[in-house]
Structure 1
Amino acid sequence: MKEILELLESDARLTAGQIATMLGRDEEEVARIIKESEEKKLIQGYFTLVDWDKFGSEKVTAMIEVKISPQRDVGFDAVAERIYRFPEVRSVRLMSGAYDLMVMIEGGTMKEVAHFVSFKLASMEYVLSTATHFVLKTYKHHGVITDDAEEDRRQVIVP
């Protein structure tokens, strides 16, 4: 099962037939494992990685460090849930270290991101402080090198 999940994680477009061929397994068995993995939430979704800059439609991405006061009996979970329900939010992770949550959001402009932080996030009960970091350039995302247009600079060695 792990081999199937690893292949799908690297390329979600692979069919059960292709995976079966790659692993020397039966296609029906692979399809069953994929279906069961989806039902058990081992596979939680499929996505397409789009380079919006090349498309001409920029998105502003920000990572926000959030320091919160945990709630009695639920800890950080209730606050994290309130945050991840906002449509701008792409991910929320509980962190170790100087802050508690890392929130990644996308907006159309820096002003939209600033509005989200000021009016939706920082004003929430239990949020003690925030620190916003804007993504200036992405080199690798979800295991994919995003800017590989650079030519091969290796020198050919001729004996």
Structure 2
Amino acid sequence: MILNENEIEILEIIEKNGRLPAETIAKLVEKSLEEVQSIIQKLEEQKIIVEYNTIVDWRKVEGHEGVTAMIDVKVTPKRGVGFDEIAKRIYMFKEVKSVYLMSGAYDLSVIIEGKTMSEVGNFVSEKLSTLDSVLSTTTHFILKKYKHDGTIFDQGDEDKRIVVTP
């Protein structure tokens, strides 16, 4: 779908901060509130705006740190549907947060979250590896997030004032 300049500008604003009130967006793009609300509704109905997300630093919530793993998966594509069918089977698991078709040595990249490393290991060995089309997997555990979807973690609350000495 081809979007006009106003629609693209509104999308860029919402992508950076989905919590901005429509009134604020209207002022930023110099349009009426009704126009902005209409554009946002249209973009939602057409599934261009798919969802509004919040990024949470779970390491700071005691007891909810969890484990995130990136799994490289080599699969055999099926005739007529390619990688789509196996990707769908994988993304239907509740543990799976993302699935991407990749170029390179592996076909799919799967991001999963679990409470423990053991839980992630069980998912790989009991659910993912047992699927017919899966040939092999390589699991990488995320040890620390520095930046996610454009958001930098641990920017620190250090004092940025210049030290002045007499």
Q: Same fold (TM over 0.5)?
A: yes
Q: Structure 2 CA distance, aligned partners of 1:72 and 1:154?
A: 62
Consecutive aligned runs of 4 or more in structure 1 exceeding 4 Å deviation: 152-156
Number of residue-to-residue matches in the alignment: 157
Please state how far the C-alpha of 1:36 moved relative to its aligned partner. 0.6
Gaps of 5+ in 2: 1-6
SS at match of 2:97: strand
Letter in 2 for 1:107: G
Counterpart Cα distance in 2 of 1:154 and 1:127? 54
TM-score when normalising by structure 1? 0.94
* Structure 1: tracts of 5 or more residues without a match: none
RMSD after superposition: 1.5
Counterpart position of 2:54: 48
Deviation sequence 1:95-139 (CA, Å, 0-9, x none): 001100000000000000000000000110010000000000000
The answer as to 2:94 corresponding to 1:94 is no
Kindly report which structure 2 residues correspond to 1:74-85, keeping only aligned pairs within 5 A, or say none: 74-85=81-92
Distance between the aligned counterparts of 2:123 and 2:129, measured in 1?
8
1:15 to 13, 18, 21: 21
In the alignment, the residues of structure 1 paired with residue 152 and residue 127 of structure 2 have an alpha-carbon distance, to the nearest angstrom, of 33
Q: CA deviation at 1:152?
A: 6.1
User: What is the Cα deviation at residue 153 of structure 1?
Assistant: 6.4
How far has the Cα of 1:151 moved from its partner?
A: 2.9
Alpha-carbon distance, 1:19 to partner: 0.2
Seq. identity, %:
56
